[in-house]
Copies of this chain bind each other. A is one copy, B any other.
């Protein structure tokens, strides 16, 4: 099954755009992932304004991909454009935020959410419903770029520990930048509870489609 994965952060370096592809391909046999990114947003989505700017770009890119792929993954926990693409296109569009929420609901009653933004993405909050317990923004981080430092790595682990202390029985990482730095399994080890990685969650939903013979 061929997936088109849309990054909401503009990346120029060779290999950087493609980074979420191997995460999914390595975990889900039979899924092939080509990655694309929207233009002119090097800081990605990190607040309402940057989300509003990105959404039409995601939709435009999704339209271009429709004839080339079996499904689209929008690799952002805010799911920009996902609802619109599902209404318009003849192939499914999968949002990382909604996917992570759906899977987390099955793993815990009281989910702790880690973000890079000043609130929990609506997709995640609504998706978790009464399974939502609490959230933490990673200290010192304003965009996904800031996650790629040793300090942020340590601060993310700290945020998870605080959420566990508050009673979380599972953790949802509400930014696909956490997938880029592959921190989910480290947090699971440090915290002792299940952790949901948003890119792998979207892969898992795509895999469900594939197991049913879609593409």
- In the complex, the answer to whether B211 meets A189 with C-beta atoms within 8 Å is no
Q: Which of A1-9, A99-107, A132-140 contacts B (4 or more CB under 8 A)?
A: A99-107
Query: What is the size category of the interface that chain A forms with chain B?
Result: 35 or more
- In the complex, the answer to whether A208 meets B196 with C-beta atoms within 8 Å is yes
Chain B residues contacting A184 (CB-CB under 8 Å) are 211-212
Quick one: copies of this chain in the complex?
2
User: Chain A 86-111 against B: per-residue CB contact (8 Å), 1 yes, 0 no?
Assistant: 10000010110011011111110100
Chain B residues contacting A129 (CB-CB under 8 Å) are 129
15 cross-chain CB contacts under 8 A: A92-B194, A94-B106, A95-B106, A99-B106, A102-B102, A102-B105, A103-B208, A106-B127, A107-B209, A129-B129, A188-B214, A194-B209, A197-B211, A200-B208, A204-B208
